[in-house]
């Protein structure tokens, strides 16, 4: 199971990086979203996918899944959600002000 997840995460990373390197700003933001998906799945996978009950004590199970990475992922999800929301609004604002979403045209050295 871990191998399958590793391959999937690898594909997510590859697609994410490919999108990051494109010219359009929206594709780049989607690329960052794919990267964060990949990394959250990685956190889940790296702590082991052994079968066990969901981490609720009421389940009375013999073994539970590791609760720590789930908390880490939840933290990381909200953080990346906040950053992505900010990034989208920033992209919208710079499209309005600068009139382009092409990263090639956004270089500009000094001043305007």
Task: Tell me: does residue 6 bind other proteins (CB under 8 A).
Answer: no
How would you classify residue 100: left for phi > 0, otherwise alpha for psi between -120 and 50, otherwise beta? beta
Return all residues near 16 (Cβ < 8 A) that are at least 6 apart.
31, 32, 33, 34, 35, 37, 38
Task: Tell me: does residue 32 bind other proteins (CB under 8 A).
Answer: yes
Among 59, 86, 102, 104, binds other proteins (CB under 8 A): 86
Count, in order, helices (H) and strands (E) of the chain.
Answer: 3, 0
Reference 37, options 16, 62, 56, 66; nearest CA is 16
Residue 14 token pair: 């590859």
Task: Tell me: does residue 75 bind other proteins (CB under 8 A).
Answer: yes
Task: Tell me: does residue 12 bind other proteins (CB under 8 A).
Answer: no
Task: Tell me: does residue 3 bind other proteins (CB under 8 A).
Answer: no
Tell me the sheet residues that pair with 41. none
Task: Tell me: does residue 49 bind other proteins (CB under 8 A).
Answer: no
Residue with smaller CB distance to other proteins, 53 or 72: 72
Binding residues for other proteins (CB under 8 A): 20, 25, 28, 32, 35-36, 38-40, 42-43, 45-48, 68-69, 72, 75-76, 79-80, 82-83, 86-87, 90-91, 93-94, 97-98, 103, 106, 108, 110-112
């Amino acid at each position: 199971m871990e191998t399958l997840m590793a391959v999937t995460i690898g594909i997510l990373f590859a697609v994410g990086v490919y999108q990051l390197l494109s010219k359009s700003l929206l594709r780049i933001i989607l690329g960052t979203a794919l990267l964060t998906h990949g990394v959250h799945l990685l956190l889940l996978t790296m702590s082991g996918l052994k079968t066990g009950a969901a981490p609720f004590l009421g389940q009375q199970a013999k073994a539970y899944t590791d609760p720590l990475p789930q908390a880490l992922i939840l933290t990381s999800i909200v953080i990346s959600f906040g950053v992505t929301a900010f990034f989208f609004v920033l992209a919208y604002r710079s499209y309005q002000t600068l009139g382009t979403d092409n990263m090639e045209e956004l270089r500009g050295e000094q001043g305007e």
